[in-house]
Structure 1
Amino acid sequence: MKLTSHGAAHQVTGSCHLIECAGRKILIDCGMFQGGHGLHADNAAPFGFAPAEIDVVLLTHAHLDHCGRLPLLVNQGFRGEIIATSATRDLARLVMMDSAHLHEENARRHHRHGERAEPLYDTMDALDAVDRFGRIAKYRQPIHLFPGITASFHDAGHILGSASILLELSEDGKTRKILFSGDLGPEGRPLLNDAAPPEEADIVVMETTYGDRNHRSLPASIEEFYEAVEAADARGGNVIIPTFALERAQELLWYLRVGMNSGRLRKTMPVFLDSPMAISATRIFQRHKEALRPELRQKIEHGGDPFALPDLHFIREAHDSMSLNRIRSGAVIMAGSGMCTGGRVRHHLRHNLPHSDCSVIFVGYAAEGTLARIIIDGAKQVKLFGDEIPVRAHIHTINGFSAHADAEDLTRWLGRIKGVERVFLVHGETGAMHHFAEGIKGPKVEIPEPHESFDL
């Protein structure tokens, strides 16, 4: 038995972990590296294994940094089965198709400038990856993969359909239980159930995105959010929210709805969800009631729409998105991407950052090197579309809305699992991993290097 981390080792993105057991090769996730510029080469680089030799992929959830290289894996020879929950399957299809479109568009942009460029993968590769999805996983129901190898998925509470995956492995008379946390969600969110790990495991491979810090409390974060929206509205400016399409967009719509229904926010305030992916993801949320908190599920079953707002506009077409740049006051514009590495939000930032009556509200993780991180860190001007844009808007960072567990949540989650002998820390910045490692008492702690292998 052997574990190798081919991604998310000493970094926050690109999750990709290989288990070798009884002559089989099992991949947990196959995600893209994300962050600053220059990562195309990392994503195009060899995986560190032969895709054709992978027997099965187990997908924890549908974020791009966990599923985004599946089309490339298939393009390079993978012909096995991809197993995920039903909601993850629907969201991953959406994410991979959108990613393929962006890669194709980026290649066309280079061609228009006389530069040679090929997309990392194209729409056909994404469709081929969708075709590889096979059995649907249900929480806590074991799936027989191969003789001596069983997998079970457990609610991770991160995004719709997200899972931690427990592999029970047997080889040469030796049996091991290895749990991959995937990305874990914080406790007490309004839409999803809390993470629910299995009772026991010998080895845990866990994320540490926020392993060195705790989020602000959720009530305080909601209050800060309302204050930021109110203040911009009172100044006569717009609110720009760089939004992750999965989970964050839906959660913010929920909080805006609550704020308007309670009278805290102006009901006539127009809200624009300027993200075709977020719009489609919202429909998928409504389709997968089984993955939501019971009270929310009941609301939908009785005909309610938890994301409805009095003046909500879904913006799908590019020309409609461009027209939003003529709005100078009183609007809330939610657009991707959350880290501002691409997407429509960059246009909205270009038109709103220079105005002191506007606000930009960041509500999620921003990796080092991303435009979001540069703005959060206090840049006085940023480069957008070749122009230097002054940053005069009010900048708010509210990390209490993060879909990631904080240090206390991570510690509680790990503490609920009995029998843990060894913990591998991944999916975090180096400092966060070392900080979290110091608090683990009992199990041996490992922090893998990229492509480093460990006997289990």
Structure 2
Amino acid sequence: MSKSKDKIRVSFKSSGAAEDVTGSCTVITWGKPERTILVDCGLIQGNQSLLKEYQANNARFSFKEKNVDYVFISHSHSDHTGRLSLLTKRGFNGKIVVPEGNKDIIRELSLDSAKIMLRDAEDLFRRFKKDYPPIYEESDVKNMVTLIKEYPFNEKIKLDDEVTFEFIPSGHIVGAAQLILYIKNGNITRKIAFTGDLGNLRTESYYANKFEPIQNANLLIGECTYANRERSVKAKDREKDLEKIQAFVRDVCVDGNGRILFPSFSLMRSQVMITILYDLFKNDPEFNIPIYVGSPLTCKINKIFDNVLTGKQLEKWQEVCTWDKLIFTSSFEDIETALSKNSPMLFVLSSGMLSGGFSPAVAEKLLPSSKDGIAFVGYSVEGTLAWKIKQKKTKTISINGKQIHSRCKVINLNSFSSHMQRDELCDYYSGGFGTGMYGKIVLQHGNKKDRIGLAADLQELISKRNRTDKVIIANKSTEILL
């Protein structure tokens, strides 16, 4: 077993997250005949042209799709699941292993992606007069969903003689997990751990499970989305944001008779925002303002929450949804009718970066009015419409080919990260949560420059704690042998 060809190989060749924060897809191979496992299979997203994004997501995988035995999914976000349907389209027919509560969400997000891909393909044809087939279609999604099987948390499950796994709560979003794989290769079993995306321990995580640390492993593959110190969020930042929301609603709606848009992603951000608005204003006698919550996808996710949440989380969600100020709609006609009234109201609409859904059209209506407002919830990728509006020096914004004067009031709510912050990442990976040794720690799912700084600080902290873990910064040529 000393020869490298006889060892377990962990490869990042097909993973966009090896060099950035999207497109997670780690490949594990071993044995004769060779066996293959994937951990996540996500879309590559970000600040690049439509054509480049199409080419990146439609590129060949570094493996033969039909030879993959299992795909393990950490959580339902599209940068971890969005290429599952492409994998199936190209011949994968194995099992997709997901934490309980994820199957229906993955289905709806993937169907939504298929619609977007069709529009993108049509747009590319118009621009370049060349056929660009959709990366996958709704029929591919439906085939993919038949391969999904849900499994419970905190239970060690044997799939076959060589593969055993366990899902551990990550605290990131509803149903999000870390993954422990036990791979038996001959007479040796290796323990490989994946953090997936980890939850923010500094702020309230509505509807997410509670993070639990993985105790030890031969290899830990860890996310570091918030490796940059400057992006760190403190608990007091959330308190300030809650005060900012109250003041903004009072200024724009109560005193100014205006309207506010909260651009919010359909999964988690929309549900969290309406919960926060409920907690802030449910007992306020002056608050008599309708809140429109919508998009077809958001409404579907809301219904799934009714089925996947349990206990106190379900009680809280049902309590929020019965608030008489909330108006749920999947019809944009309802939004247009509301806008025509020109009276105080709030909108919680997708998408969060104004890249699709109902929010761009509402932003177009509110931007020219100095009495209206937009409250951006969380980070916006550079180059997106949300990012452009946030740049206060920009006086004119282009939306759907129209030049719109930017006069409305704008606030940024920066405490709504659902990722573990830098200091906690260092603490977790260096054993500060009472964990044992990890052997090798591979950092992925983060900006490359930021990962370099995090790796240096992490290795120093590991030494101070008299540990011998080795920190590795992933790239697409990284291959770990176990």
With normalisation by structure 1, the TM-score equals 0.91
* Deviation by residue 1:262-283 (Cα, 9 ceiling, x = unmatched): 318x432111112221121122
Q: Which residue of 1 aligns with 2:5?
A: none
* Deviation by residue 1:247-267 (Cα, 9 ceiling, x = unmatched): 111111111111122318x43
Q: Which residue of 2 aligns with 1:405?
A: 420
In 1, distance between residues paired with 2:41 and 2:124? Answer: 26
In 2, distance between residues paired with 1:253 and 1:27? Answer: 36
Q: 1:162 aligns with which of 163, 170, 176?
A: 176
Q: 2:289 aligns with which of 261, 269, 277?
A: 269
* Conserved? CA contact 1:204–1:423, under 8 Å: yes
Specify whether residues 59 and 189 from structure 1 end up closer, same or farther in structure 2 by C-alpha distance, changes over 3 A only.
Answer: same
In 1, distance between residues paired with 2:436 and 2:326? Answer: 47
In 2, distance between residues paired with 1:367 and 1:425? Answer: 21
Q: Which residue of 2 aligns with 1:256?
A: 277
Higher relative contact order (CA 8 A, sep 6+): 1
Q: Report how far residue 84 of structure 1 moved.
A: 0.6
Q: Report how far residue 319 of structure 1 moved.
A: 2.9
Matches for 1:356-375 after TM superposition, within 5 Å: 356-375=370-389
Q: Which residue of 2 aligns with 1:355?
A: 369
Q: 2:226 aligns with which of 176, 196, 210?
A: 210
Q: Which residue of 2 aligns with 1:178?
A: 192
Specify whether residues 367 and 418 from structure 1 end up closer, same or farther in structure 2 by C-alpha distance, changes over 3 A only.
Answer: farther
In 2, distance between residues paired with 1:296 and 1:102? Answer: 32
Q: 2:217 aligns with which of 201, 213, 237?
A: 201
Moved more, 383-392 or 366-375: 366-375
* Conserved? CA contact 2:174–2:209, under 8 Å: no
In 2, distance between residues paired with 1:377 and 1:18? Answer: 40
Q: Report how far residue 92 of structure 1 moved.
A: 0.5
* Aligned-partner residue type, residue 126 of structure 1: V
* Deviation by residue 1:8-63 (Cα, 9 ceiling, x = unmatched): 12211111111113332111111111123331111111122221121110011111
Q: Which residue of 2 aligns with 1:425?
A: 443
Q: Which residue of 1 aligns with 2:25?
A: 16
Q: Report how far residue 167 of structure 1 moved.
A: 0.9
In 1, distance between residues paired with 2:103 and 2:165? Answer: 17
Q: Report how far residue 112 of structure 1 moved.
A: 7.4
Taking only the aligned residue pairs, the percentage that are identical comes to: 29
In 2, distance between residues paired with 1:425 and 1:235? Answer: 48
* Aligned-partner residue type, residue 437 of structure 2: G
Moved more, 404-413 or 317-326: 317-326
Q: Report how far residue 166 of structure 1 moved.
A: 0.8
Specify whether residues 159 and 225 from structure 1 end up closer, same or farther in structure 2 by C-alpha distance, changes over 3 A only.
Answer: same
Moved more, 323-332 or 202-211: 323-332
Q: Report how far residue 226 of structure 1 moved.
A: 2.2
Q: Which residue of 2 aligns with 1:25?
A: 36
Moved more, 151-160 or 113-122: 113-122
Moved more, 321-330 or 20-29: 321-330
* Deviation by residue 1:168-190 (Cα, 9 ceiling, x = unmatched): 22324433222111111112423
Give 5+ residue unaligned stretches, structure 1. Answer: none
* Deviation by residue 1:390-425 (Cα, 9 ceiling, x = unmatched): 322222221212222221332344332321222111
In 1, distance between residues paired with 2:352 and 2:476? Answer: 26
* Deviation by residue 1:87-116 (Cα, 9 ceiling, x = unmatched): 111110110111112222344556678764
* Deviation by residue 1:53-85 (Cα, 9 ceiling, x = unmatched): 211100111111111111111111111100112
* Conserved? CA contact 1:206–1:423, under 8 Å: yes
* Conserved? CA contact 1:2–1:19, under 8 Å: yes
In 2, distance between residues paired with 1:412 and 1:393? Answer: 42
Matches for 1:24-423 after TM superposition, within 5 Å: 24-36=35-47, 37-38=49-50, 39-108=53-122, 116-134=131-149, 136-187=150-201, 188-213=204-229, 214-217=232-235, 218-233=238-253, 234-263=255-284, 266-290=286-310, 294-298=311-315, 304-378=318-392, 379-414=394-429, 415-416=432-433, 417-423=435-441
May I ask how many residue pairs the two structures share in their alignment? 448
In 2, distance between residues paired with 1:160 and 1:360? Answer: 26
In 1, distance between residues paired with 2:396 and 2:424? Answer: 36
Specify whether residues 322 and 412 from structure 1 end up closer, same or farther in structure 2 by C-alpha distance, changes over 3 A only.
Answer: farther
